[in-house]
Every structure is written in C-alpha cells, then in structure tokens.
C-alpha cells in the first residue's frame, strides 16, 4: 500500500512538474490566477489537510500544487481588498480635481487608514507562503532569460541599497521601476488597486491609490553586478 502510494505521489509530482514545464514554455504560462485555479478547484480542496503529501488529494488524485498555491494567494489578496475597501469607505472619495492638495490629502488619508487597519502586518501576509517559492522561481527564471543589459536596466532607476518596508508609504521622491510586461504575464493577476513592483532585490505589492507598500518578498530578484 505504501509502495503504491509512493508511486502515485511520484507520478503526480512528475505530472505536476511536467504541467508547469509545459506552462513555462507558453508566453502566458502562469499569467492568470483563474487559469491556474480551475484544475485545482476540480481536483482538490484548497488546503490539503496537514499530513497529506503536496500534490496529492486525500484520495490519491494528482493535483497541480501551483494552482492550489495560487488560490491561497488569491484568498490573501481578497482579504487585503476587504481592508482596502473598508479604508476607502472611511476617507473622502477621490474625484477629479484641479487642486493637487486634494489628491495628496486623500492619498495620505487612505494610506494612514490602511496602515491603522493593518497594524502589525508582516511580510508574507499577502504573499502567501504557499506561493512564495513560485514567485522566486518565476522571477529568477525570467531574469535568467534576460541579457545582462536588460537585467541591469530593470533595476537602474532606483538608488542602490534602498530600504523599503511593509505598511509604509513608498518613498514619494523615488521613481517606480518599470515592471517588465513579460514577467507580469507570468505572475498571478491582481486587482487594479494593487501592483507588483521591483525594489532592489525585493518584489513588493503596492497599493496604487494609497501609494503604500502592503507586502514585501525579499531576495527574490537575482543579484545584478554593477
């Protein structure tokens, strides 16, 4: 029985890996959380019970572990969006205005409200631990495909050794690194209120309207020699 189970695990792991490999050859590979979530939803509960091998359902069926991890990440995003929406409802709505002070005041008020509602937030609260290995792999695989000049260009706009932290405002005097569209296509989709950004070697999640760093995943981007 144990042997049979081991064989099934091995088979399913190979199958899942092959799926991912096949996906990564596609330009739109890991693009959409939805695309990844469908097979997982059909095959397995979102959180396999503790004690079961990853990639296998309790009844021994093969699953795509990345799909399950994507779903988990999506749940964290949804939880954050609840907080964002609650914060938005508590500050004055931002309308088109010819007074820049209104824009600045609203941005600050929204950021403060979210910071308050998420007091004690820590890295990984949104970048779900289940998905973190995939973020690392996706980013690093993407960078491997880029020329040295391209890699350098992706981090050239920001000063070196810049320090950013979770639940803090993105420094307003610094530009935002352009996020490479090809890499963006490989990452799970985000609601329009959120975006991925690269800061130094970190991948951050930034709340666009609040200009707030809502999560950070450090040491994701490979070291780029100057």
Partner 1 sequence: MKKSSVRLFVSCWALLAVACLTTTQALNDQQQQPRAPVAQIGAATEVQPPVGKDSVKFLVIGDSGTGDRAQTETAAQMWKAHAAFPYEFAIMLGDNMYGSERPQDYVSKFERPFKPLLDNKIEFYAALGNHDDPNQRFYKNFGMGGKRFYTFEKKDAKFFVLDSNYMDQDQQKWLDNELSRTGSKWKIAYFHHPIYSSGGRHGSEVDLRSIIEPMFIKYNLNVVFAGHEHFYERLKPQKGIHYFTAGGSAKLRAGDIMQNSGMTAKGFDTEQSFMLVEIDGDVMRFQTISRRGRRVDSGEVRRTPSS
Return the residue of 26, 157, 165, 219 that touches partner 1, per CB under 8 A: 157
Contact region with partner 1 (CB under 8 A), list: 64-72, 81-89, 118-126, 179-187: 179-187
Instruction: Confirm or reject binding of residue 211 to partner 1 (CB under 8 A).
Output: yes
Least distance in angstroms from the C-beta of 185 to partner 1: 7
Instruction: Confirm or reject binding of residue 169 to partner 1 (CB under 8 A).
Output: no
The residue among 31 and 117 lying less far from partner 1, judged by its C-beta, is: 31
Contact between 207 and 190 under an 8 Å Cβ cutoff? The reply is no
Return the residue of 60, 162, 182, 219 that touches partner 1, per CB under 8 A: 182
Between strands 212-217 and 194-199, the pairing is unpaired
Instruction: Confirm or reject binding of residue 181 to partner 1 (CB under 8 A).
Output: yes
Least distance in angstroms from the C-beta of 100 to partner 1: 4
Instruction: Confirm or reject binding of residue 107 to partner 1 (CB under 8 A).
Output: yes
Instruction: Confirm or reject binding of residue 162 to partner 1 (CB under 8 A).
Output: no
Segment 82-88 long-range contacts (CB within 8 Å, at least 24 positions apart): 83/114, 83/117, 83/118, 84/114, 84/193, 84/207, 84/210, 86/117, 87/113, 87/114, 87/117, 87/210, 88/209
Q: Give how many residues touch partner 1 by CB under 8 A.
A: 38
Angle between helices 132-144 and 65-90 (to 10 degrees): 100
Instruction: Confirm or reject binding of residue 175 to partner 1 (CB under 8 A).
Output: yes
Scored b (16 or more CB within 10 A) or e, 123-147 reads: bebbbbebbbebbbbbbeebbeebe
Instruction: Confirm or reject binding of residue 150 to partner 1 (CB under 8 A).
Output: yes
The Cβ-side half-sphere exposure at 39, using a 13 Å CA radius, reads 16
Tracing tokens 């941005």 back to the chain, one arrives at 107
Token pair of 203 as six digits: 């991948």
Least distance in angstroms from the C-beta of 198 to partner 1: 12
Residues forming the site for partner 1 (CB under 8 A): 31-32, 94-101, 103-104, 107, 149-150, 153, 156-157, 172-173, 175-185, 189-190, 192, 195, 208-209, 211
């Amino acid at each position: 029985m144990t042997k049979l189970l081991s064989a099934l695990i091995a088979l399913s792991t190979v199958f899942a890996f092959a799926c991912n490999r096949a996906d990564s050859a596609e330009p739109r590979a890991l693009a959409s959380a939805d695309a990844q979530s469908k097979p997982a939803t059909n095959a397995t509960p979102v959180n396999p019970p503790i004690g079961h091998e990853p990639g296998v359902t309790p009844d021994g069926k093969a699953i795509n572990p990345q799909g399950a991890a994507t779903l988990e990440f999506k749940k964290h995003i949804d939880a954050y969006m609840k907080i964002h929406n609650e914060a938005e409802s508590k500050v004055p709505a931002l309308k088109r205005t010819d007074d820049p002070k209104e824009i600045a005041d609203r941005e600050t008020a929204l950021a403060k409200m979210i910071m308050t509602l998420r007091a004690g937030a820590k890295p990984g609260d949104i970048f779900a631990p289940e998905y973190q290995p995939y973020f690392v792999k996706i980013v690093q695989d993407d960078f491997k495909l880029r020329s040295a000049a391209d890699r350098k260009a992706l981090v050239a706009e920001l000063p070196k050794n810049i320090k950013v932290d979770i639940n803090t405002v993105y420094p307003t005097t610094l530009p935002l690194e352009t996020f490479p569209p090809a890499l963006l296509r490989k990452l799970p989709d985000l609601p329009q209120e959120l975006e991925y950004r690269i800061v130094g070697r970190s991948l951050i999640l930034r709340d666009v309207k609040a200009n707030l760093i809502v999560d950070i995943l450090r040491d994701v981007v490979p070291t780029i020699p100057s």
